[in-house]
Amino acid sequence: MSGVGVLDKAVLILAFLSTDGPASLAGVVEGTGLSRPTVHRLLSALEVHHLVARAGGRYLLGPRLLGWGHRAAGTNLVDAARPVLAALRDETGESTQLYVREGDDRVCVESVERATGLRDTVPVGAVLQLARGSAGKVLLAWAEDRGRYADLVAKPVLEEIRRRGWAESVAEREEGVASVSAPVFDASGSVVSAAVSASGPIARLGDHPGERLSERVVAAAREIERALGGREEPPRSITNKEGREDV
Amino acid sequence: MSGVGVLDKAVLILAFLSTDGPASLAGVVEGTGLSRPTVHRLLSALEVHHLVARAGGRYLLGPRLLGWGHRAAGTNLVDAARPVLAALRDETGESTQLYVREGDDRVCVESVERATGLRDTVPVGAVLQLARGSAGKVLLAWAEDRGRYADLVAKPVLEEIRRRGWAESVAEREEGVASVSAPVFDASGSVVSAAVSASGPIARLGDHPGERLSERVVAAAREIERALGGREEPPRSITNKEGREDV
DNA sequence: ATAGACTGTTCACCATATGGACAGTTTAGG
DNA sequence: CCTAAACTGTCCATATGGTGAACAGTCTAT
């Protein structure tokens, strides 16, 4: 995957523990498809570094990750967005998320969910496709290297999103789910730092969720920009590695 | 270190980025002492997994760590303790922390600091010695395998801590710093889940910080136990891997 | 007491991480 | 504009160090 085998396996194990809770050695072997000695050796190594812990013979993510989570890219963005996402959730009655672009993917960095009933769930840290879903297309629409994705998302589609200032999608990333997203710009006003999204079942949002939600989602994006203040902190923002692009 | 070289190096890099903010490749090479090709290869691999990100040629911790941080061991404990630590900070005017034991170390899982002036700082995720400082001795005092540390912390000292229900230390872990800590017990009442600690300069706390602070710190510990509820969630607590011990 | 399912450990093989050396790229300065 | 310096990115022969089949120890249930 990444060219460093051991690392791929360690990440596979941590990702498994992250979703499938505390698990026994046998459970991790089953869930990852790695051989038992390998899983055992890596879990022991990860334990030395406190990236995994054990409770009664079962392995789970270790407390050192708490600290790294606090200092990860996007932290100030997340802090600024959290109350805004909560308000948007209350206004719309749907789950809300904040996404940042990461290379060819997008990562959910904050998620405030509807409490009960039918709802969309995206865990923080989830890695999603960049070219699918309204938030993905928002992140692409203002990206310098958007030409690289021309075969996945047609240029006129992105132009339309830039004109409107928001995007909607229906059953695109996941069956039965619709969403509306808007870009969060950095202080310069040209680079998109993140995308705010509200998502829920098509049954509630209909075939054109933007009609009802776009105004509120866009307002939330402006609110997050305001909370970030004019003077965007130097270190925490995220940029993409590419550059150089057509129009 | 752990028996898996690549993992040790990857952790070393992440730990460096965690404390020394965004850094260039050269900076990481300088800070870790690894060779440039190795650092470059590992950073690239970590980036594929979104464990590191880059902003303008500088590397920083990646957003996937946000998700793992949310689901790491001790999360429910931290959530329960946060408001209590904040109140204890306000009452005492000193920085407060929550520690859990992890093998032969202790890890800070939450930290609420005094806002201004001279104060002790322990970042969340920091790995500290188990046998030094009041919180470490609290974690040891009720540990089943405390006999293994008899040469570092004498038995009578631990007995005294168990009798009192709290511990104090002066210039033990770090020069100029004093602290008072109390154990947070799990639902069974016999196993220590964590240690609450208040710490600050000796100049303010004096040679016997417990005289002034022990009552409040112990009350905070009881408050956290209450917030955790009787029915301690199954997965999230932390246990130590050892067992089998004298009295 | 015995069986079964689990966790932990060993070791010979060879996949794969390593770092010196080279190449390309950006920044600084005359 | 051109050169120098300092950086990032890449290659490849070497041997370090990760691998997993097989063995050993441990716990639980009946």
Please state the separation of Cα A148 from the chain's center in Å.
21
Start-end of CATH 1.10.10.10 domains in chain A: 5-68
Q: Is the confidence at residue B242, as pLDDT, over 50?
A: no
Q: Is the confidence at residue B241, as pLDDT, over 70?
A: no
| Model confidence pLDDT, tens digit, residues B185-223 | 987 787 888 999 999 999 999 999 999 999 999 999 999
Pick from A37-51, B57-71, B154-168, B222-236: least confident: B222-236
pLDDT value of residue B1: 75
Evaluate if the CB of A240 falls below 7 Å from strand D. Answer: no
- Mean pLDDT, rounded, for B229-246: 40
Beta bridge partners of A177: A201
| Model confidence pLDDT, tens digit, residues B87-116 | 999 999 999 999 999 888 999 999 999 988
Task: Read off the pTM.
Answer: 0.82
Start-end of CATH 3.30.450.40 domains in chain A: 75-228
Q: Determine contact: A103 vs chain B, CB below 8 A.
A: yes
- Mean pLDDT, rounded, for B3-24: 89
Cβ distance of B54 and A1 shorter than 8 Å: no
* pLDDT beneath 50, residues of chain A: 231-247
Query: Residue B132 — pLDDT band, cuts 50, 70, 90?
Result: very high
pLDDT value of residue A230: 54
Rounded distance between C-alpha atoms, residue A114 and residue A94, angstroms: 5
CATH 3.30.450.40 assigned to domain A75-228? The reply is: yes
Tokens of B116: 């201004």
Pick from B22-26, B80-84, B128-132, B167-171: least confident: B22-26
Strand D proximity: list residues 54-113 of B with CB under 7 Å: 57
pLDDT value of residue A237: 35
Query: Residue B235 — pLDDT band, cuts 50, 70, 90?
Result: very low
Q: Determine contact: A102 vs chain B, CB below 8 A.
A: yes
Question: B37: which DSSP letter?
Answer: H
Q: Determine contact: B61 vs chain A, CB below 8 A.
A: yes
pLDDT value of residue B57: 80
Q: Determine contact: B79 vs chain A, CB below 8 A.
A: no
DSSP-assigned states of every residue in B136-188: HHHHHHT-TTGGGGTTTS-HHHHHHHHHHT-EEEESSSSTTEEEEEEEEE-TT
pLDDT value of residue B177: 96
Handedness of CA A132, A136, A138, A140 (dihedral sign): negative
Which residues, numbered 13 to 32 in chain A, qualify as contacts with chain B under a Cβ-Cβ cut-off of 8 Å? 14, 18, 21-22
Alpha carbon of B207: minimum distance to chain A alpha carbons (Å): 31
pLDDT value of residue A56: 76
pLDDT value of residue B230: 54
Mean pLDDT of chain B: 88
Q: What Å distances lie between residue B19 and A2, A115, A173, B60, B106, CA to CA?
A: 25, 36, 36, 10, 18
**Closest nucleotide to the alpha carbon of A35, via C1':** D20
Interface-testing mutation among A46, A68, A127, with chain B (most B C-beta atoms within 10 A): A68
CATH of domain A5-68: 1.10.10.10
Query: Residue B68 — pLDDT band, cuts 50, 70, 90?
Result: very high
Rounded distance between C-alpha atoms, residue B125 and residue A230, angstroms: 31
Cβ distance of B65 and A127 shorter than 8 Å: no
Share of chain B above pLDDT 90, in %: 62
| Model confidence pLDDT, tens digit, residues A29-67 | 988 888 888 899 899 899 989 999 988 788 999 999 988
Query: Which carries the bigger pLDDT value, residue B189 or residue B246?
Result: B189
Q: Determine contact: B199 vs chain A, CB below 8 A.
A: no
Which residues have C-beta within 8 Å of that of residue A217, sequence separation ≥ 6?
Answer: A88, A92, A166, A180, A181, A182, A196, A197, A198
Amino acid at site A178: A
